[in-house]
Amino acid sequence: MTETIPAVTTSPLAAADQGSGDQVVKRRHHRDPGESGPAAKAFGYAALLVAVAMIVVPLYFIVITSLKQHADIYSDPITWWPNPFEPGNYAYVFDTVAFGTYLRNSVIITGILTVVEVALGVLSAYAFAFLRFPGKNLLFMLVIAALMVPNQITIISNYALVANLGWRNTFQGVIIPLAGVAFGTFLMRNHFLSLPSEIMEAARLDGTSFMRTLFRVVLPMSWPTVVAFALITIVTEWNQYLWPFLIASDESVAPLPVGLTQLQQNEGLTNWGPVMAGTVLTTIPILIIFIILQKQMIKGLTAGAVKG
């Protein structure tokens, strides 16, 4: 009698486990297609260092030049550290020009323009996003077209209008022509359209009014984008130069960029220490604001970039 030996069979589950194990072994020998090689990583780090150096080195020289004596600025070879320190350049700025007045004017102009532009930008974007009215798409296309028009093209017509109104050398003459909200309307409208429609529908079902929905539902979900819009506006208006330079006749309404021009004219093209000190003083306030609001700005500009 012949004894039969049962055949050894492999279950489908065991075969699958074995196949997956083989795939894991194979993957260990092959680099992920999305993973960069050593050469690519080295090139990326080198490009990053070059980009950082192009930004940091000029800023570093501005700071150290503001702390150098006149002879040390033009020393050969170039000195990378002030020797000796000359902090008196900063006091000289306040003694030479009305730097405090220029600073006050910049705060007034930037503060008013930021409030006006953010308010108008949010309200107009909210209307474009959630209201239905004839010609809405055409009107929004005009807003987009306004973004494509350089500000320099409208300077002559704006100047003639402001002069006819008697607004030269006044705060309203500086502020009103700059209070455009095309960029803010575009930015905030796109953000409002990305909000969950279910939340807006729930607000309507609860009987929430149109404006109450804006302040109680839409804005609480939009603070990062609003902060980003506000910070961009602050930086832009703080650095306004050409229009205030044309409208302001003296330091009574001129902002800091115009004050730096006056300082450079007083010192000529040789005494760069006080000019660089004035540049540092002009940059510090906006740098502090940026450091405080940078996280909110990044969240606002990247909102909706990742969906999950």
Which residue is listed with tokens 């205030």? 244
Q: Identify the structural domains of the chain with CATH numbers, from first to last.
A: 42-86 (no CATH), 98-301 (1.10.3720.10)
Cα Rg of the chain, angstroms: 30
pLDDT score at 291: 86
> Is the peptide bond prior to 12 cis by the omega test (within 30 degrees of 0)?
no
Q: How far is 239 from 282, CA to CA, in rounded Å?
A: 9
Residue partners of 143: CB distance under 8 A and separation at least 6: 124, 128, 182, 185, 186
**pLDDT digit string, tens, across residues 43-60:** 888 999 999 999 899 889
Low-confidence ranges of the chain (pLDDT < 50): 1-3, 5-8, 12-16, 20, 24-27, 29, 305-308
Q: How far is 114 from 300, CA to CA, in rounded Å?
A: 17
Two structure tokens written together for 243:
């229009």
Cβ pair 251, 82 in contact under 8 A: no
Helix (H, G, I), strand (E, B) or coil at 270: coil
Helix (H, G, I), strand (E, B) or coil at 40: helix
**pLDDT digit string, tens, across residues 98-133:** 888 999 999 999 999 999 999 999 999 999 998 888
> Measured between alpha carbons, how far is residue 129 from residues 9, 21, 74, 132, 301 in Å?
65, 53, 58, 9, 18
Q: How far is 51 from 157, CA to CA, in rounded Å?
A: 40
Q: How far is 140 from 182, CA to CA, in rounded Å?
A: 9
What is the C-alpha end-to-end distance of the chain, expressed in Å?
Answer: 68
